[in-house]
Chains A and B, each alone.
Chain A
């Protein structure tokens, strides 16, 4: 009865942006990013990628409700970079890392299959 429509998993209403950026009113250099259609996969990855940045003082994520397909990522920086820059860097770094990992994986598969023959 309360099951959300499957389509909500894949598409956003036309007036909603994929990522909403909300500045924290109580603290400086702090912001919340509401990421729609994302879950723990991206949330956890970004959290730990952000924590590797020495300019990031805090980062955490939560999924406010299991039936809503969104996560909230909170980022707090020391002011040298903005939370937005930090979040973007985290995404870019992960992207590069996964490209490298994919290359490494494909090479290993090739090598393994070559050995077999």
Chain B
């Protein structure tokens, strides 16, 4: 398929390496760096989730002062699979708030006899059928992890808090970012010269394999060649080329570099959204953004 200037539209190749409960890893091949970077930026700042935005503190006798507590509450990740059914508060026509843009929660606890841990388990939705709720993390063994600790109450201390959860994006506050990190790595490229096999003796080859702190290389004992085992682990430390330099060999035996248009994405979700959902939503946002810009460019009239 070609574009208006007959050059062919770019069609980056996507290859999924791994999808976990909270992370996704995929390759983006034949892709210009501007596209990879846009995707990364959108995932961090423009994919909406739900988070506590407004806190009414009726009573707080805990050791944390009100602002501190509010901030901690704001940062709690909420399950946001239904985020699309909510409106942004600023775009909602209601006054002052309604069920389309706000979800109410409460946190009312008193420590009666001993120190009490207040966690995300104590945050209750006013509407029990609500699908938006604090994330319950599940560890690698499939067991539920301890809930997030918000504050510890000593005997007779009390919190009585009302929270309003709203939809937002990371652009406004990082608490709404659906990702912990999005890692974009350029694919490493290692060229091993065919003459390396003859130029190095076995001991030197073992030395070369061991020189790499990331264990990228492997010695093929049978063929006496140095093979690349895990190219993605290479972090461009150049220890292998330094090792060869110190051997005073011709320095073109090994070349370590990076592919210009080949990226490894690692997206770590906060748990608010499934990782593959974050990527697909990022694409949708980019598509909408571009069609909006196209339309607005069309409508813009020239002036000097």
Contact = CB atoms under 8 A, between A and B. Distances in A.
Interface of A: 6-7, 9-11, 17-23, 25, 31, 33, 35, 38-42, 44-49, 52-55, 84, 87-89, 91-102, 104-106, 108-109, 111-113, 116
B7 to A, nearest CB: 6
Contact of B5 (A21, A44, A53): A53
Contacts of B140: none
B139 interface: no
Contact of B7 (A9, A10, A54): A54
* 8 A-B pairs closest in CB distance: A91-B294, A102-B283, A21-B300, A95-B290, A48-B34, A19-B296, A18-B296, A112-B16
Interface residues of B, number: 49
Interface of A is mostly: helix
B38 A45 contact: yes
Q: Which of A42, A45, A84 has the most CB of B within 10 A?
A: A45
A36 B302 CA distance: 16
Nearest to B8: A52
A19 B302 contact: no
Given A19-B300, A52-B7, A98 B290 contact: yes
A44 B303 contact: no
A38 B296 CA distance: 12
Given A25-B304, A101-B283, A108 B297 contact: no
Interface in B257-298: 276, 279-280, 283-284, 286-287, 289-294, 296-298
Nearest to A80: B5
B9 A84 contact: no
11 contacts: A19-B297, A20-B303, A21-B302, A22-B304, A23-B304, A33-B297, A46-B293, A84-B298, A88-B298, A104-B11, A112-B16
